[in-house]
Amino acid sequence: MLSSLSSTISRLNLFCPKPSIPHSLSSCLKTLKPQPIIPRWSCLHSLSTHSTSRLSTSLKPQFDALVSKDDLVVLGIETSCDDTAAAVRGNGEILSQVVSSQADLLAKYGGVAPKMAEEAHSQVIDQVVQEALDKANLTARNLSAVAVTIGPGLSLCLRVGVRKARKLAGSFNLPIIGIHHMEAHCLVARLIERELEFPFMALLISGGHNLLILAHDLGHYIQLGTTIDDAIGEAYDKTAKWLGLDMSRSGGPALEELAQEGDAESIKFSTPMKQHRDCNFSYAGLKTQVRLAIGSHNINPEIPISSASSQDRRSRADIAASFQRVAVLHLEERCDRAIEWARKIEPSIKHLVVSGGVASNQYVRARLDHVVKKNNLQLVCPPPKLCTDNGVMVAWTGIEHFCMGRFDPPPPADEHEDYVYDLRPRWPLGEEYAEGRSEARSLRTARIHPSLTSIIQASLQQQ
Ligand code: KG4
Ligand code: ZN
């Protein structure tokens, strides 16, 4: 319908209009949702309505032209761990994807050293973004918007991506979309599986998070479970480090590989939180059990696995396999219960999405596929490259929100270096499922930002 316009409007000619059409956002969202058409410089409704930061802007809808969703091109920038950027078209076409890994730093320091990581991010971010544009045969002028992760994660690292995104958006007068990292892990599943409609369930497993959610709708998530201490990725990384594995690709892939040589039944680790009939997770206790097993098998983590004797290697492989079996069994048990809970809330669910770095593990995928089939659901697991942190998921989530009119206007081109960015290091995705609340939770609640869901739902109610 609008194809003739596509070349000229692939970049939105933006300005910051005075609100002139005061109709409600929710009514325009209803009409927009089924159609792949979005307003040009449209319903401005920021993700950050409740924030005190200056990233927040909420303008009323203004329709002056329409752009087909397919014609959008959004650049996604993500610096919460590695530096990644990607350009994605509204129809889901991935135009480019660039990742500059911080694995070398991780291996050297055995974890994230925030200041070092910030420096490394700052050194490569310009290059990563430029490469993402070049590979897509684009210049910033061709973009419709810039999406960037604003949390959760380390402020020092997030800041590098946000600064770059705002600079670019300011220079080229582009709207900007602040993205929740875990929502991006979840929604990238809708890029690869176009049949995936809300509501669905998601298990999001990464280095810092273990989340079981019911995704009601875009921006509306119920948290069925979370970790009370460590995430599974952290447990993989620590176990890999203690087993003297090569951490240059992060610990998870190295441990998965070694586990294939081992006997998963050889060491009887106990499954976490058996006595708690909820959907929360805990990996701190399993880490302790692994540490004890490593001590009792006289494994010296200082000796890399490549130099270990065959008997030593065998012990390490047995620990790796036994750890992996129980770590994943914990996921299976929690998913089983979460499916039961989710069906009570939303009987129509058909899919379980499994995403986040740990979801690139083949054993994890196979075991969860079994759980999902047993419960007559379908598993949606993005390809490994889209499970680990990537700019595509950020760009795609940007597209999803942009099409709902949730974005901020272009920042000023001459924004001062000292500008205080809206960063959300501790930012829940959804509201906790009240019936599932557990006494085992010992989560720290200080300085937590209101959840993405509560912000969006509250802003919808205001309209
Ligand atoms: O989502 P992600 O890339 O970054 C975070 O948001 O944390 O996840 C990184 C985590 C790391 O802990 C890494 O060891 C783990 O995902 N991971 C894996 C595998 N690939 C990455 N864990 C187990 N098996 C894998 N194949
Ligand atoms: Zn991640």
Dihedral (Cα; 389, 392, 398, 404), 10-degree rounding: -120
pLDDT, tens digit, 9 for 90 and up, residues 322-358 = 999 999 999 999 999 999 999 999 999 999 999 999 9
How far is ligand 1, taken at its centre, from the CA of residue 356, in Å? 7
pLDDT band for position 439 (cuts 50, 70, 90) = low
Q: Which residues of 339-372 are buried (b: 16+ CB within 10 A; e: fewer)?
A: bebbeeebeebebbbbbbbbbbbebbbebbeebb
Rounded distance between C-alpha atoms, residue 305 and residue 312, angstroms: 8
How far is ligand 1, taken at its centre, from the CA of residue 361, in Å? 9
Q: Residue 220 is encoded by which pair of tokens?
A: 């509306």
Helix (H) or strand (E) run with residue 66 in it: strand 66-68
The amino acid sitting at 348 is S
pLDDT, tens digit, 9 for 90 and up, residues 1-46 = 333 323 222 233 222 232 222 222 232 323 333 334 444 333 333 4
At 444, is the secondary structure helix, strand, or coil?
Answer: coil
Rounded distance between C-alpha atoms, residue 399 and residue 89, angstroms: 8
- Mutate which of 185, 323, 331, 358 to test ligand 1's pocket (most atoms within 8 Å of Cβ)? 358
Dihedral (Cα; 47, 51, 56, 59), 10-degree rounding: 70
How confident is the model at residue 445, as a pLDDT? Answer: 57
Residue 457's contacts (CB-CB under 8 Å, 6 or more residues apart) are 219, 220
DSSP 17: P
Confidence (pTM): 0.87
Helix (H) or strand (E) run with residue 349 in it: none
**pLDDT above 80: residue 167:** yes
Q: For ligand 1, what atom is nearest to the CA of residue 360?
A: 26
User: What values do phi and psi take at 365, rounded to 5?
Assistant: -65, -45
pLDDT, tens digit, 9 for 90 and up, residues 187-236 = 999 999 999 999 999 999 999 999 999 999 999 999 999 999 999 999 99
